[in-house]
Amino acid sequence: MIRALAVDIDGTLTDENRVLCPISVKAVRSLKIPVVLVTGNTHCFTRAVSVLLGTPRIFIAENGGVVSHSEKEMEILADLALCQTAFHELSKAFPLEAYESSRYRFTDIALKRNFDVVAASRYAEEHGLNVEIIDTVFAVHIKDKRVNKGTGLRRIAERMGLDLLEFAAIGDSGSDMPMFEIAGFRASVGNSTPELVAASDYVAKAKYGEGFLEIVEHMKENGMLQ
């Protein structure tokens, strides 16, 4: 039995323009178990989404760099200075443009998708930069390589007193892979990357929010949810 959901936001609960899908809101509100939002977006953004969806103030932001346990307790698990150093170094070789949302970030830097991510990742490794560069489809992030959505989920599960196998992870991109590797059930929406599809126990035919609804219905029909 699944006792909590770990759910990505952009591309999973939203459409391709990052607009929240009404049908996914309805699906979230139909659930009787906690929904933990897991995203690359900022803490303030994720908190606002949790308020609007009616989910707990228990969530993971900035790809694992920030974990919220309650309205009053937030943990910073990554080092922004590493990302800032990497940004300045990478800017010597690539036309990096940071999003304005960076001023709200505690642990990573979000960039526009206007450069070769593979080449930049190789450059970072060759120059000994202790960061990971990930493409979440909606943005590219420079992040502390010690954290990811999986490390965040481990921390959340520990504090919630749940086994990781009691979580279902739902997402759409490679940044969701670390939580897919440790969750008890993994499902991807129809617009997901091939990498995530290959790691999924269930792949929705529908895309975006409609895909999320399909996954929830599949889990209910198969006795995985109350």
Could you list the active site residues? 8
Question: Which regions of the chain does DSSP assign to beta strands (E)?
Answer: 4-7, 35-38, 59-61, 66-68, 74-76, 109-111, 131-135, 140-144, 167-171, 185-188, 202-203
> Strand, coil or helix: what is 88?
helix
Residue pair 178/148 in contact (Cβ under 8 Å)? The answer is yes
Q: Which of 87, 74, 73, 68 is nearest to 129 (CA)?
A: 87
- Which residues have a Cβ under 8 Å from the Cβ of 214 and sit 6 or more positions away? 189, 204, 205, 206
Question: Could you give the CA distance from residue 177 to residue 199 in angstroms, rounded to a whole number?
Answer: 8
- Find how far residue 165's CA is from the centre of its chain: 18
Burial grade of 27 (CB within 10 A; 0-12, 13-18, 19 or more): buried
Residue pair 109/142 in contact (Cβ under 8 Å)? The answer is yes
Q: What is the largest CA-CA distance in the chain?
A: 54
